[in-house]
Chains A and B, each alone.
Chain A
Amino acid sequence: MDWIAMATGFILILMGLYGALTERNILRIIVSFTVANTGVNLVLVAVGYMHGRTAPILDKTVPVAEAVARIIDPVPQALVLTAIVIGLGVTAMMLTYAYKLYEEKGTLDVSKCRDLKW
């Protein structure tokens, strides 16, 4: 059962990349990137999971002495917390550029933006 989260993450990455590569509307591309980003986070968290263990927070039910045998790996969780925040910043910036693109060109269709095409 442990592989379900990881498989879902991989499927989300593939779905996101498919959307980012085939869509023409920049807003849809941004949403696709967000989906792929979520997939990466899910895979990372799934790697840190260990069967039958609990969250890395020490309290009455998880005493300090038993921590090593009772908690899952805290490092991927810290990593994913960082990744989520940075992902949000990146998404906000992509949306800003989409807004500027619409203001300049009057369209959200990236195939109509041919400035860098020769």
Chain B
Amino acid sequence: MIRNFAVFLLLLGLGAIFLHLLDGYVPASELNQTARYYAEHTAQDLGAANIVTAIIVTYRGLDTLGEVTVLFLASTIIGMVLAQGSKRQRALQRKLPASGELLTTGSRLLVPLILLFGAYVFVNGHLTPGGGFQGGAIIASAALLVLLTDPLKRFSHKLIALVESISGLVFVGVGVLGMLLAGGFLDNRILPTGEFGALFSAGAIPLIYSFVGLKVGAEFTSMLTNLAETEKS
């Protein structure tokens, strides 16, 4: 009882703070200095139509490298924590009920389309809303659909690890190339910026974001696979 009262008091205090913030909030009518710089310089300097992508991949590229690293660590730790428990894992004896005509046929139809859509989203990340992280999540949703249809399906850990490591290496390699050939680490102008708004434009941004997409897709798939393999017989 006392505990719930303390929680109630805490939330009341937080609520009062939030109300105060909301009350005093005045929406900005002008872009601030940083946003103004990005709005003015992205198109000429980097040739990317999507300013959010330009910020994530180039202006703040190092942060994105850190983000991908955190994601990699998370998927590795999940694999490590769950692998210790699977030593005594036996082969599944139990026969699972069939997943049904609708799910089987639907997933056979949808999985290639979802993969294609994911690839589309990350290849066009510099032009349209989307990018590597969103595309990678869409690709992983295809893996989830496959696992829903056949819970005993096992993806190759070797393949996932291969895709993940190659994408990570290409990401860092392109960054180092930027240091050698252009202005600095992860500078996208190692390739010509091209015509504004075309698919092959914005220098290395589509390249980097495609590999980020593959890496994120591989990491999410490995998390899903590791969690699915805990299925007991």
Q: Interface of A with B (CB < 8 Å)?
A: 2-3, 6-7, 10, 13-14, 17-18, 21-22, 49-51, 55-59, 64, 67-68, 71, 73-75, 77-78, 81-82, 84-86, 88-90, 92-93, 95-97, 99-100, 103
Contacts and interface: CB of A to CB of B under 8 A. Distances in A.
- The interface residues of chain A, by DSSP majority, are classed as helix
Interface residues of B, number: 58
A85 B197 contact: no
Contact of B128 (A6, A10, A57, A89): A57
Nearest to A104: B85
A87 to B, nearest CB: 11
Contacts of B77: 93, 96
A68 B52 contact: no
Contacts of B19: 10
A57 B28 contact: no
Interface stretch (B8-16, B95-103, B144-152, B186-194): B8-16
B70 A100 contact: no
Contact of A99 (B28, B129, B230): B230
Given A6-B25, A68-B36, A85-B67, A22 B4 contact: yes
B180 to A, nearest CB: 26
Contact of A21 (B7, B27, B67, B230): B7
A77 B77 CA distance: 28
B78 A21 contact: no
B63 A82 contact: yes
A90 B29 contact: no
Contacts of A2: 27
Contacts of B85: 100, 103
A81 B22 CA distance: 23
Contact of A73 (B25, B31, B220, B223): B31
A21 B81 contact: no
A50 B27 contact: yes
A72 B91 CA distance: 55
A57 B49 contact: yes
B11 A18 contact: yes
Interface stretch (B37-45, B110-118, B165-173): B37-45
A74 B74 contact: no
Nearest to A96: B78
B6 to A, nearest CB: 9
25 contacts: A3-B25, A6-B22, A14-B18, A17-B14, A21-B10, A56-B52, A57-B51, A57-B129, A58-B51, A67-B39, A67-B40, A67-B43, A68-B36, A73-B28, A73-B31, A73-B32, A73-B35, A74-B55, A81-B52, A81-B133, A82-B64, A82-B67, A86-B70, A92-B223, A96-B226
